[in-house]
Amino acid sequence: MSYEQYFGLKEQPFAITPDPRYFFESDQHMGALIRIQHAISSAKGLSVVIGDIGLGKTFLSRKILDELQSEEGKYEVALLIIIHHEITAAWLLKKIGIQLGVENPADDKSMLISQICRQLIHIDEAGKKAVILIDEAHMLQTRDIYEELRGLLNVESSSHKLLNIVLFGPPELEQFMQMDPPLVSRIGLKVTLRPLDQNSTHGYINYRVKVAGGQREIFTTEACSMVFEYTRGIPRLINAVCDNALLEAFIQKKERIEADVVEQVSKELGLTKV
């Protein structure tokens, strides 16, 4: 028997995959989502989402991608995830070109840029907005990358910008962006993610349990408060503590998760109280 069966769940509530069904609409994350959607619909150009490790940047970027894609015919949107810091401006431009639908992207940079510009005009004429979301943007670490992004942001029609870019990264992203001060001055929206507060942490835990098929309260109120104390409201840590607490409570044949089990697994994970 698995802990899912034991607690009457259909699946594991705290798995790390960014499954949109599990997106908890905390004030934090929803506030960020609404602001970014507004920035995109009003063609602000560049938006930046800053957040420490595990606060939900990647999940938010996926959620925005889903939301925009669900509005059929309105957006030409792509999500790029930068996996190492050795990428070049040429690589990034090519990737952006391909994602925007440029056919046969040229190797020559100035040709590629004019292909992208033409494609942006084409997308605009089709009544769509072009959006590039870039996760792990702090892996962009050369000045010419930021200069090229700025160049793309400068592409405008007579009335509005033709490309929206949203960068997601930890605080050091802002330092890398300083390599190109004119780009920094073009930031139309900056959102800083913060950890969940105590109430939202309770809501988060109960929401995920419910989505996983939980029919009753599995984590007591005291247990949720203890999760908050050990995780300080950081979603990734909440997931780790709650997943371990479910397993431990199952092994100990407990009916529900009380504060003591949360404390035990949190200590085992090396966490300390606030």
Ligand X SMILES: Nc1ncnc2c1ncn2[C@@H]1O[C@H](COP(=O)(O)OP(=O)(O)OP(=O)(O)O)[C@@H](O)[C@H]1O
User: Least Å distance between CB 136 and ligand X?
Assistant: 7
Give the DSSP H/E element, type plus range, for residue 202.
Answer: helix 198-211
Please pick, from the candidates 9, 29, 46, 245, the single residue that binds ligand X as defined by CB under 6 A. Answer: 29
Which residue, 7 or 24, has its beta carbon nearer to ligand X? 24
Please pick, from the candidates 184, 236, 258, 260, the single residue that binds ligand X as defined by CB under 6 A. Answer: 236
239 binds ligand X, rule: CB under 6 A: yes
Rounded distance between C-alpha atoms, residue 64 and residue 165, angstroms: 12
192 binds Mg ion, rule: CB under 5 A: no
Rounded distance between C-alpha atoms, residue 89 and residue 110, angstroms: 12
220 binds Mg ion, rule: CB under 5 A: no
What phi and psi, each to the nearest 5 degrees, are found at residue 114?
-70, -30
What's the token pair of residue 236? 């990734």
**DSSP 3-state of 189:** strand
Please list the helix, strand and coil fractions of the chain in percent, rounded to the nearest 5, in that order: 50, 15, 35
Rounded distance between C-alpha atoms, residue 274 and residue 271, angstroms: 9
Closest residue (Cβ) to ligand X?
A: 56
Residue position matching structure tokens 């030409």: 76
User: Which parts of 23-62 interact with Mg ion (CB under 5 A)?
Assistant: 57-58
202 binds ligand X, rule: CB under 6 A: no
User: Least Å distance between CB 141 and Mg ion?
Assistant: 17
List interacting residues with ligand X (CB under 6 A). Answer: 16, 18, 22-24, 26, 29, 51, 53-59, 170, 235-236, 239
Residues that bind Mg ion (CB under 5 A): 57-58
